[in-house]
Amino acid sequence: MKRAVIIFTVMLCVLAGVSSAQDGKPYKLIVNPANPASALPKAKVSKIFLKQEGNWSPVDLTGSSPVRDAFSKDVHGRSASTIKSYWQSQIFSGREVPPPEKGSDAAVAAYVKANPNAIGYVSAGAAVDGVKVIRVNP
Amino acid sequence: MQRFIKLLVVGLLVALSPSVLAQESESDVKIHGFGTWYYGKTNNENIFLNGNKKGEYENAKFALNVTATPMDKLVINAQLGFIQAGDKQRTSLDYAFAEYRFSKYLRLRAGQVKQTFGIYSEYYDVGTNRPFISLPQSVYGAFFVGRAYKGLGLTGSVDKGRWGFDYDAYAGSLGIESGAAEQPGTIRNVVGGRLNVRTPVSGLRVGASAYRGKLEIPGFEAKPVAVAAHAEYVNDKWTVRSEIARNTFSTFRVHAFYVEAGYKIDKHWQAAGLFDDGTFKIAGLPEAFIPQPSLNEHKDRAAGLNYWFSDNVVLKSSYHFVDGNLYANPDGVVAFASFYPNLKPTTKGLQFGVQFSF
């Protein structure tokens, strides 16, 4: 019995580690539960968050968030700072405004939960009740 | 002037405020803005980039940008600016237009819209988007970039595999950009466009622009035809931009070329370099007939050092070594084929200031 408990506990820890990070990434990509997607290619995720792909409502963490910077480097291949410069050119040429920014994982999750077309990212260990985690494919 | 300084300070505080930066309003109205102040000094009577021999503190701009989405697919954009350049001051409606978004492939614009020419024309005054306080004068000083067109425009994007194509086309009348001075003229019946190509190389974008119309300045008319090509590479460390342009109107020929680079040494410090080259020629006029060739030439070699407090606020300094008087000349000097006996063909200029956006 004791061995079973130990094995069960170890399994729980392993599963928690798997669900808290996608392939070792420091973030999780989340969508509304009504969204049929289970995975998206990285290039498409980048376009969605740069608002170059229609019918999505992306949401970012604030610029100072290390998770945002990690997401930006992984998905866009650029730091959050470089992406901000891109947004400045878009804003002041009247072309587009950046996605809304939220100050916490919980706020991002709440936004995604409330918007059928929403897509966001939270830290790897964040609670994801009420939203769906999807994979980012290479 | 005092009210203007207060606006500038308010804007700077807003840009530095973490609470403003932390939360983006979810309303259908978004407000952004940017500002600039700088001190400019030259080593002789030539005025360059609003810097003079005495040292000029009165260089500032503040702009508020508003975007509203009153209904699905309809976006309203407006930007209001306040400019101080030396003893000249003006407010300007940078742009105000409605955009109907049929799809990402096709958007219709109507109103007063920033001209799309080259890299910087649409965000001409946004200093946090470039390594130097001022733009390269060969392309952005005069002769090429208009203030905004009043008319209709089309814009959109097409993606093909790893390539992306962003296009603009417009028609209307084009105001001529001239800092804080009153608009000196208009280009009527203008037709123009730009194509940007996002290449498979991450951060590398190339493009071409062109326009033609009928230039009307009091006492002068011509039909300019301007063409240009540009390339830009941006990654986390490097910002490298280059443009080449040519404008032909009446018997005048204007050529421009620059290469500008910024390198982020670390999170805060950035080094910058510029090579800028412009010439003004009168077709058919032999060189020997030009009394003072320096009036038709411009070569600026500049180096800069910037400190970025954040992505939204930067302190910049730059030193310019300028050959030629096309853009560096005393007040009242008219360039082209004139003669001024005491004109200094070489100018050294210093710029120091702050730029911010929010």
Residue B284 has pLDDT above 80, yes or no: no
Query: What pLDDT, in 10s, does the model give residues B17-36?
Result: 544 443 344 568 999 999 99
3-state secondary structure A17-67: HHHHCCCCCCEEEEECCCCCCCEEEHHHHHHHHCCCCCCCEECEECCCCHH
A100 at interface of B, judged by CB pairs closer than 8 A: yes
Q: What percent of chain B has pLDDT over 70?
A: 88
Written as six digits, the tokens of B264 are 């982020």
What stretch of H or E contains A72? Answer: helix A66-75
Question: Which has the higher per-residue pLDDT, A9 or B159?
Answer: B159
- Contact check, Cβ <8 Å, A101/B22: yes
Tell me: pLDDT of B255 over 60: yes
Task: Name the pLDDT band for B4 (thresholds 50, 70, 90).
Answer: low
Does residue A4 register a pLDDT over 70? Answer: no
Judge whether A122 and A60 are in contact, CB under 8 Å: no
Query: Quick one: average pLDDT of A51-77?
Result: 93
pLDDT score of B263: 98
Judged by CB atoms closer than 8 Å, whether chains meet at B21 and A84 is answered as no
Cα separation of B222 and B250, whole Å?
A: 5
Interface membership of A98 toward B (CB under 8 Å): yes
> Shortest CB distance from B67 goes to which of A78, A79, A97?
A97
Q: What is chain B's mean pLDDT, rounded?
A: 89
Closest residue in A to B130 (Cα–Cα) = A85
pLDDT band, very low/low/confident/very high, at A5 (cuts 50, 70, 90)? low
Q: What is the pLDDT of residues B259-273, one digit of tens each?
A: 999 999 999 999 999
Q: Categorise residue B200: left if φ over 0, alpha if ψ from -120 to 50, beta otherwise.
A: alpha
Q: Over range B127-144, report the average pLDDT.
A: 93
Residues A19 and A9: their CA atoms lie apart, in Å, by 15
Q: Is the pLDDT of residue B233 over 70?
A: yes
The pLDDT of A12-33, averaged and rounded, is 68
> Which of residues B178 and B74 earns the better pLDDT score?
B74
Per-residue pLDDT for B65 more than 50?
A: yes
Average pLDDT over residues A111-125: 95
- pLDDT, position A55: 85
pLDDT of B87 over the 90 cut: no
